Structure 1
Amino acid sequence: MPVSIFGINHKTAPVEVREKVAFSPDKMSESLCALKSEAGLDEVAIISTCNRMEIIYRCPHSQKDSQALEAKAARISDWLAQHHGLSIDNLKDFSYLHSGDRAIEHIMGVACGLDSMVLGEPQILGQVKDAYGYANHAGTMGLYLNRLFQQTFSLAKQVRTDTQIGESAVSVAYAAVTLAKRIFAEFAPIKALFIGAGETIELAARHLSRQGVTQMKVANRTVERAQKLADEFGATAHGLTSLPELVADADIIISSTASPVPIIGKGLMEKAIKQRKHRPVFMVDLAVPRDIEPEVADLRDIYLYTVDDMQDVIKENLKVREEAANEARDIIAVHCHKYLNWLKSLSTVSLMKEFRAQYDDIKASELSRSLAKLENSDSPEKVMTELANRLMQKFMHSPSRLIRQAGESHNQEALEIIADAFSLKPNSDD
């Protein structure tokens, strides 16, 4: 089976490990090309989110046995460790490898939100589509992965339409807002600061807005993007250089940027707490790598949570979604079978092309020979008879050999297959 997945996710590794293997979007094309070349892959795509890093790839046709697949995975692990400057042993402790049917079912399940921290969350489908787009742009997407991703998108759409897995607003952002409701009695007087301007922040802002928060600020590296998001919620937009003033005025801070290093440190929050006269601050760091230094949690009057801290909130949603998830798995099984049948059809197409090419060569050779004889004024009837006899002899050669070998070895099953293939009705008395 040509498709495999090497991955690390929230089930196998803590956030400290996941943030170290995350890929920056602006370097994704470069990373994909380097991985494809250095690991010797035919096709490759990378899904990189706060909860997972998965490398979906296709090996050359010659590398199908388990030992070859494991060797290829080890090569990918070595590249990943070198690329991120990590210990290889560290990666082995937290990674997993899926191949064949399991890999296909896994990527389809991921796109439907079945493998997410929040069961059925819709954001992951957009992130899988991003992975497809990056691979297309980098030129590392080929026939097999292209078909797999396209069928996965079709499947995910069907699951959203035919099941209730996406009916309620369930996501890491929603879990963060649910947690905030346990800390604040009412949201009307609350001031919220959103750091970043991506989809996660947009979802968090939308959820808080629905809870009654009206005083919002959006800070982002690019103020124009912050302004675009701020306009949706009647908020104000700011650059990251304004963070010292912004954090001191915020009751809720939710951050999710692509920064490779923390943008809020313990020192900054110590000053903010003093300015606030120790009024509590609820902080949620949804970024990987983290936006907020872990030491901030040590400060009094600050309640800091990371994506891993959302687990308890998320568990409350599992029972509601399990029935829909089971329905989704049934749909996945159908689409997985469909993709596997498509893979099998590729070998059939290849065999048919080879079969046709072989007999086209015979036809061309014999036709050329017969035309030459006609040019030499040979009798057309004689030439046509010889052509028919030679074609019959050559067409009969391989089937006759197979029949003879099956008969000599008393292989009745093989004889029946040959008879069926050529629509023969052998006399059982012979």
Structure 2
Amino acid sequence: MQFGFLGISYQNARLEIRDKISFTDAMKLDFFQKAEAVGIQQCMVLSTCNRSEIYYIYIEEKQKAEIRHIYEEMFPDVEVRAYLSELSGEPAMAYLFRTAAGLESLVLGEDQILGQVKEALEDSRAMGYSGKELNRIVRGAVTCAKQIKTDLKISERPLSVSYIGIRMLEEACGLTGKRLLVIGSGKTAVLALRYLCGYESVQVTACSRNKAHARRLLEEFPQIGIVSYGERYEALKTCDIVVSATASPHLVLRRKDFCPVRPLTMLDLAAPRDIDTAFAEDSLVRLINLDTLQEIAADNRRDRELLAEKSRERIEAAVQETAAWLLQSRMDMTIESLQHRCGEIAEDSYAYLDRKLELSQREKKMLKKVLYASLQRLLREPIRELKRLDTEEEQEEYRRLVRQLFQI
């Protein structure tokens, strides 16, 4: 019995390829059924925008080729083989553990993948394709990932300059109850609006050159106000904070065109800059620009990489423990068969003695307990030795001996 991995991810396939290799719920069930037909009883599909991966338990080496063939047949319009990665044993386990911890993600240490791994296992269980071994391995990966996130807090070091900028605004002047002006309607501005609208009691006004873009902003953020680009300086007079994130090739806010009369925090998320650096000379203004944010993001990225190394050390230990468990579990059926055989012998012996002896109910109960306990005691040391076997070759040799000796 062995653990296997097969699949594609952003690491070995471009987005246009990944878009064509994605599992719907119906396709997952189809895959499970086809895998079961070749003897693979335990299987999990992890399908996200960045990966379409299979984790499975196999008995025979030929099943690896069979499940690969099934995967390829699921996507006949793509030359899947050119993009597939494949691992077995501890390397496959280590990859799953790293994936659950966010160490194999496009954004190092991200949190979302952990929930996706848990959901993939639940889907497998609901459809009847997850057993003791797969459950133990995946849950081990999830538990390890949770411990890493709790202890090392790798995902708490933000990498998005928009998010870092909003965090800096919160630290600098607080956001709750503040009036904000967001200039721009592109991706960066929309991301900033999403972060800002998550705070309580903020009054947000968006400023856009393009009326169609402004309408789209209102569809996503119906609670905000909208002003035209030409009204930006007038709107600025009543604001506590301004966030500018346009694609303009020239300055959007010039110091010579606006003189603050009240404290104002300015966040410039644009490259090239939107906000005149001369504002920084005004005692009423605090200016945060992209250079500062990028330095923080770079520092956070280095911190994440260092924490990722610490995470890998923990993962290595957890994988070795899980692999040892899986190796021992291969003897479980043999041990269960031995115990079942002893139970049969104890039952036969009790039935014979019960016919030959006149025993009270208390004596019958005692006799049955003694017979079972005696045979279990006889098996205690052999079972202990079976659990200590640490190679597949030894395990197979002892399985044959047990079957022969005990006729099971």
TM-score by length of 1: 0.53
Residue 113 of structure 1 aligns with an amino acid whose one-letter code is G
Alignment correspondent of 2:320 = 337
* Inter-partner Cα distance in structure 2 for 1:11 and 1:149: 22
Code of the aligned partner of 1:99:
S
For the residue of structure 2 that corresponds to 1:39, the secondary structure is helix
Q: Deviations over 1:129-173 (max 9, x none)?
A: 232233233333332222222222211111012214222123xxx
- The correspondence for 2:30, drawn from 19, 30, 34, is 34
One-letter code aligned to 1:190: G
1:126 aligns with 2:115: yes
Which 5+ residue runs of structure 1 have no aligned equivalent?
Answer: 180-185, 195-200, 218-225, 237-248, 250-278, 283-312, 376-383, 400-430
1:203-352 matched pairs, under 5 angstroms: 205-206=194-195, 215=206, 230=221, 234-235=223-224, 318-352=301-335
- 1:121 deviation in Å? 1.6
Residue type of the partner of 2:81?
Answer: K
State which of 162, 167, 189 in structure 1 corresponds to 2:183. 189
Distance across 2 between alignment mates of 1:14 and 1:203: 28
Cα offset, 1:213, TM superposition: 7.8
- The equivalent of 1:301 in structure 2 is none
Distance 2:135 2:191 in 1: 30
Which amino acid in structure 2 is aligned with residue 55 of structure 1? Answer: I
Q: Which moved more, 1:143-152 or 1:30-39?
A: 143-152
Structure 1 pair 79–119 and aligned structure 2 pair: CA distance change class (3 A): same
CA-based RMSD of the aligned residues comes to 4.4
Kindly provide the CA deviation profile for residues 326-353 of structure 1, in whole angstroms up to 9, marking residues without a partner as x. Answer: 1111111222123223323433443332
- Of residues 340, 348, 358, the one that matches 1:365 is 348
Does 2:1 correspond to 1:5?
A: no
The answer as to whether partners of 1:2 and 1:58 remain within 8 angstroms in 2 is yes
After TM superposition, the structure 1 stretch with the greater mean CA deviation from structure 2, 137-146 or 112-121, is 137-146
Quote the offset at 1:112 in angstroms: 0.7
2:102 to 87, 93, 113: 113
AA matched with 2:44: A
Aligned to 2:243: none
State the alpha-carbon separation in 1 of the partners of residues 297 and 77 from structure 2. Answer: 30
4+ residue segments displaced more than 6 Å: 175-179, 201-204, 207-210, 313-316
Over 3 Å counting, the alpha-carbon distance change for 1:280 and 1:322 in structure 2 is closer
Please tell me whether the aligned partners of residues 181 and 206 of structure 2 are also in contact (alpha carbons under 8 angstroms): no
Give, in whole Å, the separation in 1 of the partners of 2:47 and 2:351: 59
- The aligned residue for residue 299 of structure 1 is none
Matching residue within 52, 68, 72 for 1:74: 68
Which secondary structure does the structure 2 equivalent of 1:117 belong to?
coil
* Cα distance in 1 between the residues matched to 2:111 and 2:120: 15
What residue is the counterpart of 2:387 in the other structure? Answer: none
Asked if structure 2 preserves the Cα contact closer than 8 Å seen for 1:9 and 1:52, the reply is yes
Counterparts of 2:56 and 2:297, CA distance in 1 = 31
| Aligned mates of 2:122, 2:184 — CA distance in 1 | 39
| % identical equivalent positions | 24
Equivalent pair of 1:38/1:79 in contact (CA under 8 Å): no
The normalised TM-score by structure 2 is: 0.55
Residues 290-333 of structure 1: CA deviation (Å, up to 9, x unaligned): xxxxxxxxxxxxxxxxxxxxxxx998865332210111111112
Measure, in 2, the Cα distance between the counterparts of 1:3 and 1:190.
50
On the 8 A contact 1:21/1:53 being kept in 2, the answer is: yes
Deviations 1:56-75 (A, max 9, x none): 1223x3x2x3xx14322332
> Pick from 126, 145, 151: which aligns with 1:156?
145
C-alpha spacing 1:333/1:18, structure 2 compared with 1 (3 Å): same
1:309 equivalent in structure 2: none
2:127 is aligned to: 138
| Partner Cα distance (1:116, 1:143) in 2 | 27
Show structure 2 runs of 5+ residues with no match: 166-179, 209-217, 230-245, 250-295, 359-366, 383-408
Matches within 5 A, 1:168-187: 168-170=157-159, 174=160
Q: Is the 8 A contact 2:42 2:131 kept in 1?
A: yes
Asked if structure 2 preserves the Cα contact closer than 8 Å seen for 1:8 and 1:95, the reply is yes
Contact 1:46 1:56 in 2 (8 A): yes
- Aligned residue identity for 1:75: H
Tell me the SS of whatever aligns to 1:140: coil
Code of the aligned partner of 1:215: A
Count how many residue pairs are aligned between Structure 1 and Structure 2: 273
